[in-house]
Amino acid sequence: MKSAFHHGDLADGLLQAASSLIAERASSEFSLRELALSLGVSHAAAYRHFRDKRALLGELATRGFIALDEALATAANGAGPTAPERLTAMTLAYIDFACANAGAYRILFHPDLCERGDFPALTQAAMAAFARLEQEVAAGQATGSLKAELPAAIIASALWSAVHGYATLFLDRQIDHDGAAGDRPPADKTVLIKLLIDSVRR
């Protein structure tokens, strides 16, 4: 037992509690005080472990990007060998991850975290997930199954834009892919992905 007299590992406890909260309410908003209360600890205890609320958000986002990266890796590993197959699986997994973890996904792009450089680990985790996508594109270009006129990074960011847009529009209830709701446009992630992959195929 390495530490902790009163709680155990409050830093991790806070992160866990925050994860649960944002998962159950599908929103990225919570207060430090309710977090502390739910752990039976005083409202200021968190400040022994995080400089700010932003710092906690940053750590949460870092873990989120790592989880997202793992989901992408799993999808790619479970798919066939060709780049179009693998990219189809990855983009689909991306959208599914976002929809299944609404609160967590929103935190990845929390406005308070958009100043790059404040949280190096976060930047690194985000870049790692992107690099996985970019590398898959580059591999496809090398094999000849994808267009090679454009840099892999530019193609990858175009793919990212599309799936990110779909995910956020869906989470914000601006589009719908379920039953017929007349008050918002219909959408289809399969169609989006098919159009995307076809547009980069050789």
The least CB distance from residue 164 to its own copies, in Å, is: 4
The least CB distance from residue 27 to DNA, in Å, is: 13
Q: Cβ closer to its own copies: 12 or 34? A: 34
Does the footprint of DNA cover residue 6 (CB under 7 A)? yes
Does the footprint of DNA cover residue 47 (CB under 7 A)? yes
d(CA 43, CA 1): 25
Q: Which of 4, 37, 142, 191 binds its own copies (CB under 8 A)?
A: 191
Does the footprint of DNA cover residue 24 (CB under 7 A)? no
d(CA 15, CA 20): 9
Q: What does 45 bind: its own copies, DNA, none (CB cut-off 5 to 8 Å by kind)?
A: DNA
- Chain positions contacting DNA, by CB under 7 A: 1, 3-7, 10, 30-34, 36, 41-45, 47-49, 51-54
The contact set with its own copies (CB under 8 A) reads 27-29, 106, 109, 111, 114-117, 123, 126-127, 130, 134, 150-151, 153-158, 160-169, 171-175, 183-188, 191-192, 195-196, 198-200
